[in-house]
Amino acid sequence: MRFGLREVLREPGRFLLIGVAVSLLIGLVVVFSGIGTRHVDDLNGAVARSSADLLVLASGAEGAVQASRVDRADIESLIALPEVLDARPVGEARVGGRIDGALYDLSLWGIGPEGPGVAPVIEGRAAARDGEAVIDVADAHLGLELGSTFEVADTGERLTVVGFTEGRRFASIPTVVVTYAQWERTLDAVFADADGVEPALIAIELAAGHTPVDAIAAISDLDLPIIAEVPEVLAANLPGVAGTRASFASATLVALIAVSAVTGLFFLLGLTYRRKTYEVLRALGAPRGLLIRALIAQATVLVLGASLVGGGLVMIAAALAPPRVPLSFSAGLLGQVTVTALLVTVLSTLVAIRRLRRIDPAGALVVDP
């Protein structure tokens, strides 16, 4: 171990260069994983973390909440099922919002105030009356706090923030939850020439003793143009979610392969260029195990140091990135990436270790041409 570390100290330039390269690669892995997770959360958090047991949407919407409008009369048919304890309408629509003078596209959700689907708040309380709104804590940077107000730009109506949710954004835009009655009123005002407003979803609470599978089958048997899904399943099938997840997972995997390839090459070339030194060491009686342990120690120090630097870089980037870039630092994620990087690095040094084991002490006596 000490031998390996001394070698690092004797050649700081070489290790610094590879260290910076691996730091950037580990930083990339952390960024890919972090952005991928945040991006998916921003796309579907409001659906994935719904407190409803099941969500019902229009079958013609093909799983897209945005494209779903269900007939409110269907709620009666759903409540009549023995598997269903309660069913409530849930609205979702895009409206304009003016916050601190700036215009934003908002995803306006109408839920509750009672029944399934009501979003739990982490601060303040749920919206219970007209004029009250709950926003996601990720949108607080827009200048919203408990008690502050903002305007629905299309109607001029002002809403007061009474609570914050967490991880419940939708479609990667600021997400606002109001009571269903408030949502209906707002939509009526936005689309003044419309005949009526229909909910996008129906949130269902199952009766005791019934499973989601039973209820989904029973709802399907109703032969209505609706389909029921568990929130997590519906969220995973929302437009863009699978593609985003697969894209960032692939990028993470490729970056990990790059970590492995770069460190593997570094140690292999180092061994090739310094073969004579190792032959002399072996000739002087240094056991193979010592040299192998030194190599593994160097790889470990390299990855740990690179993880620290890479993590620091991500922290700085997350602090400097504008709020709309979904970049955040997570120590847990860095830990996972570090462990994975350590594993792939040790694996990548196997070729170098194999070559180290074959070093012949007699080679020390051979004079290179």
Partner 1 sequence: MNGRAVALGLTELWRTPGRTLLTAGVLSVLLFLTLTLAGLADALDRGSTGVLRSLDADIVVFNEEARLQLLRSRVPRPMTLGAAFVDGVAQVGTLALVPTSAETPNGRVRVTLVGFSATTPAEPTTLVEGRLPVDGEPGIAAVDVALRSHGVRLGDRLVLAGEREVEVVGFVEDSTFLQQPTVWVPPDVWARVQVSAFPEAGFAEQLVGATVIRTRPSADPTGVAVAIEAEFEDLQAVPLRQAVLAIPGVDVQRRTFAVLVAMSVAVLSLVVGLLFALLVTERRSRWATLRALGAPRELLVATLLVQGVVLWMLALVGGSLGTALLARVVPDAMPLDLRLPVVGLVGIASLVATVVGSSVALGRVARTDPAAAMSEGAR
Q: Please, which of residues 68-107 interact with partner 1 by CB under 8 A? A: 69, 93-94, 96, 103-105
Element (H, E) at 235: helix 231-236
Binding to partner 1 (CB under 8 A) within 198-227 occurs at: 198, 225
Least distance (Å) between residue 98 CB and partner 1? 11
Task: Using the rule CB under 8 A, give the single segment among 139-147, 157-165, 242-250, 354-362 that binds partner 1.
Answer: 242-250
Element (H, E) at 277: helix 275-283
Q: What are phi and psi of 356, to 5 degrees?
A: -65, -40
- 158: β partners: 151
Residue choice 4, 34, 45, 63 for contact with partner 1 (CB under 8 A): 63
The token duo for 105 is 């596209």
Question: DSSP string covering 321-343, please?
Answer: S-TTS-----HHHHHHHHHHHHH
The token duo for 314 is 């991500």
Binding to partner 1 (CB under 8 A) within 310-339 occurs at: 317, 324-327
d(CA 134, CA 302): 46
Task: Using the rule CB under 8 A, give the single segment among 17-25, 116-124, 157-165, 299-307 that binds partner 1.
Answer: 17-25
Three-state DSSP at 102 gives strand
Residue choice 31, 201, 235, 306 for contact with partner 1 (CB under 8 A): 31
Q: How many CB atoms lie within 10 A of CB 349?
A: 25
User: E-strand spans in 83-206?
Assistant: 84-99, 102-110, 123-124, 132-136, 149-152, 158-165, 175-178, 201-206
Residues that bind partner 1 (rule: CB under 8 A) add up to a total of 71
Q: Is 25 in the site for partner 1 (CB under 8 A)?
A: yes
Q: Give the position of tokens 């031998």.
A: 3
Binding to partner 1 (CB under 8 A) within 33-52 occurs at: 35
Element (H, E) at 267: helix 241-273
Least distance (Å) between residue 18 CB and partner 1? 6
Binding to partner 1 (CB under 8 A) within 124-183 occurs at: 153-154, 171-173
Task: Using the rule CB under 8 A, give the single segment among 138-146, 214-222, 250-258, 333-341 that binds partner 1.
Answer: 250-258
Task: Using the rule CB under 8 A, give the single segment among 119-127, 162-170, 196-204, 282-290 that binds partner 1.
Answer: 196-204
Cβ closer to partner 1: 3 or 104?
Answer: 104
